[in-house]
A and B are shown apart, each in its own frame.
Chain A
């Protein structure tokens, strides 16, 4: 079993839809949770960063962490065609240096 599980998709939605992307994990020591966006043939770029449980909002993006369920989510409101990319979740323990990435979910937003 992988430490981080993420549905690879693809996920296809119409423009303006609310998108929900999710990851589950098995290591209860993870404390730092991140979402990266990766456009085709580009390097991943950090979108959101959350410490421990709770919600964090940045514009159209909201990240949620539920440590009791070992489940994290990224919501994208009013999705745009420019949001079409692969979204990778990533997480790390408090004293750890190794960041574990999910496999990534490919998202297509249709105009």
Chain B
């Protein structure tokens, strides 16, 4: 158990809908990362937050948004869902958010299925 929690574990929804994925980082970690993993794309970095502020952005679609709250938990919002958004969404956390020996610890993931 990495100490990173994600809810829900599974989510099934329809095209055009909006969902929210939640992540709680390990105790003491200030940075949260979101990744998307699909069969044909591997692990794709979406976005990173550090202590409430956006720090880095990857291949995140405009239909997706995220935020990190004062208690350091994070939410990833996915809207106008398309079939291609079906994937595993992972959250990871780390202490410093980058630099020397800053290790990311991954949560168990949320499996999103868009029908």
Question: Measuring CB to CB, which residues of chain A are less than 8 angstroms from any residue of chain B?
Answer: 32, 34, 36, 41-46, 49, 51, 88, 92, 94-104
B108 within 8 A of A: yes
A102→B109 contact, CB < 8 A = no
Given the known A-B contacts A44-B90, A101-B45, A104-B42, are A95 and B99 also in contact in the complex, defined by CB atoms under 8 Å?
Answer: yes
Interface string of B75-115 (1 = CB under 8 A from A): 00000000000000010100001111101111111010000
Which residue of chain A is the closest to B103 with respect to CB atoms? A46
Question: Measuring CB to CB, which residues of chain B are less than 8 angstroms from any residue of chain A?
Answer: 2, 4, 33, 35, 42-43, 45, 48, 50, 55-56, 58, 90, 92, 97-101, 103-109, 111
Which residue of chain A is the closest to B106 with respect to CB atoms? A43
Distance in Å from the Cβ of B48 to the closest Cβ of chain A?
6
B109→A97 contact, CB < 8 A = no
Distance in Å from the Cβ of B92 to the closest Cβ of chain A?
8
Give every chain A residue within 8 A of B55 (Cβ-Cβ).
97
Give every chain A residue within 8 A of B33 (Cβ-Cβ).
99
A43→B108 contact, CB < 8 A = yes
Q: In the assembly, what is the distance between CA of A98 and CA of B55, in Å?
A: 9
Q: In the assembly, what is the distance between CA of A100 and CA of B109, in Å?
A: 18
Q: In the assembly, what is the distance between CA of A66 and CA of B56, in Å?
A: 28
Distance in Å from the Cβ of A58 to the closest Cβ of chain B?
14
